[in-house]
Structure 1
Amino acid sequence: MKNILLKHKSKIILLGIIILFTLLYFFNPSVNELVNTISAMFATGDFEVVRDFIDEYGTYAMLVSAALMVFQSIMAPLPAFLITFANANLFGWWQGAILSWSSAMLGASVCFYISRILGRDIVEKLTSKTGLDSIDDFFEKYGKHSIIIARLLPFISFDLVSYAAGLTSMKFIPFFIATGIGQLPATIIYSYVGGMLTGGAQLLVTALLILFALSILIVLVKNIFYSKKGNISKEKRNEKV
């Protein structure tokens, strides 16, 4: 009974926060302008635009960067790697990596609990039904290793995975640990490259990201192949018995 009341209380509070921000967006010109500016900034696909926006806040730049990471997590699927590049360019690659990793973990946790508390109907409005369905299929296919595999593959939406995980029976701690481990390699690579980025280096970055994605995909396919091969051999042995 206590858990049910707590769940409803959390749902009411969370819905209240969402309604409040929605009202502020539509009726407060400053909030409306800020949200539209941030959305347009992500739409450019240019990390320098994101970097300059963060840099304008001076001593509060790291807090603004973390807030942007959480914002893009909730408003999936906006490109988080732009913030990672910007952080590395502004604060140095290792400090940027720590900031990007920790704020992405916060964003993932927020998404997880939004879907855990509010349920699928609300999450589909924040994301997309098609996107969630595709992640559901991924979870069904790869089972308990789904989170860490999804985090290692840069072409799978980080935020959709977080939302979808909250809709399952998965506990938060295993989700959190798998997310932390799985996203670390990409964060380090993006941050290291982002620290060296200039306007003329974007082709190099694109090539590196493609190479990274392909290398991870090759390893994943190889593991799946050998896993299926092992299962087939096991079934054949069982048939003989």
Structure 2
Amino acid sequence: MRGTGPGARRELKQPTRARRTLPRLVAGAAVVVGLVTVLWLTGWGASLWEVFSDRERLQGLLRGAGALAPLVFVALLVVQAVVAPLPAPALAIVGGYGFGVVEGFFLTWLGCLIGAVISFALSRRFGRRFVAESARAARLDRFVEEHGVVLIFVLRLIPLVSFDVISYAAGLSSIRFRAFLLATALGMVPGTFAFVYVGGSEAGPWTWVVLLGLAALAGGAYVFYGRFYGAPPRVR
């Protein structure tokens, strides 16, 4: 005869939660697939790819915007962060080329920050409940809540890690928005400056110094984090 205590009730609740969560995940995946299909059928997806992957075309777009060029550039950064999963460093280089190091750095940093906030908010609003109902993710969620500021800061220092993925993943966790905003705003500074500097300055020894400095900083931060905080727990 099966027990009727608290343990037995928890066992009965787990399948119920799984049955509730699975249709939501399927529905969310269907929405994503549908959006990608619409972009592909209408040709908008190809147009977005052409704009973001063609440096000369981006520069022409900025020049054609005239006095509105800074706003257009920030809007492009927000769009690439929220809609198009493309690397921001390419746009940062264009920003340095089109606006110079100082203005290009500020505009790039601002656009990426706004895009990160929107991505975080969308993920928190529509995806957080799926994680909250998963007992398997509880340990990882607690780890992110305790060490999320340092973790996100370190990940922002590593250019090879997608900024968009970090923002959406952070929204799924229980990290507070203010902590996410602080870690993102500070963590983006070195990488943003490095890539804007590459686009806004003449190629020379200092370009390599800046890039090597960024690589050393990212590598050092990663080693420091792993040594003092350890690896996140596995979700089993």
TM-score (norm: length of structure 2): 0.65
Which digits, 9 at most, give the CA deviation of each residue in 1:72-109, with x for residues without a partner? 11135202112111112111110111100011110000
CA change 1:34–1:121 in 2 (3 A) is farther
Which one of 147, 161, 177 corresponds to residue 143 of structure 1? 147
Aligned to 2:73: 65
1:167 corresponds in structure 2 to 172
2:53 and 2:62 map into 1 onto residues whose CA distance is 16
Unaligned runs of 5+ in 1: 1-14, 123-132, 230-241
Work out the percentage of aligned pairs sharing the same amino acid: 30
* Structure of higher CA gyration radius: 2
Distance 1:39 1:106 in 2: 21
| Residue of structure 1 aligned with 2:53, choices 23, 43, 67 | 43
Q: Measured at CA, do residues 217 and 176 of structure 1 come closer, stay the same or move farther in structure 2, by a change above 3 Å?
A: closer
Matched letter for residue 227 of structure 1: F
What TM-score, normalized to structure 1?
0.64
Counterpart of 2:188 in structure 1 is 183
SS in 2 for 1:154: coil
Report the aligned-residue RMSD: 3.9
Q: Give the aligned partner of residue 211 of structure 1.
A: 212
Distance 1:84 1:221, change over 3 A: closer
Counterpart pick for 1:81 among 89, 98, 117? 89
Shift in Å at residue 54 of structure 1?
Answer: 2.2
Cα gap change, 1:152 to 1:169, in 2 (>3 Å): same
Runs of 4+ residues over 3 Å off in structure 1: 32-36, 207-210
User: Given that residues 128 and 172 in structure 2 are in contact (C-alpha distance below 8 angstroms), is that contact kept between their aligned partners in structure 1?
Assistant: yes
**Mapped partners of 2:122, 2:192: distance in 1:** 24
- Alignment size in residue pairs: 189
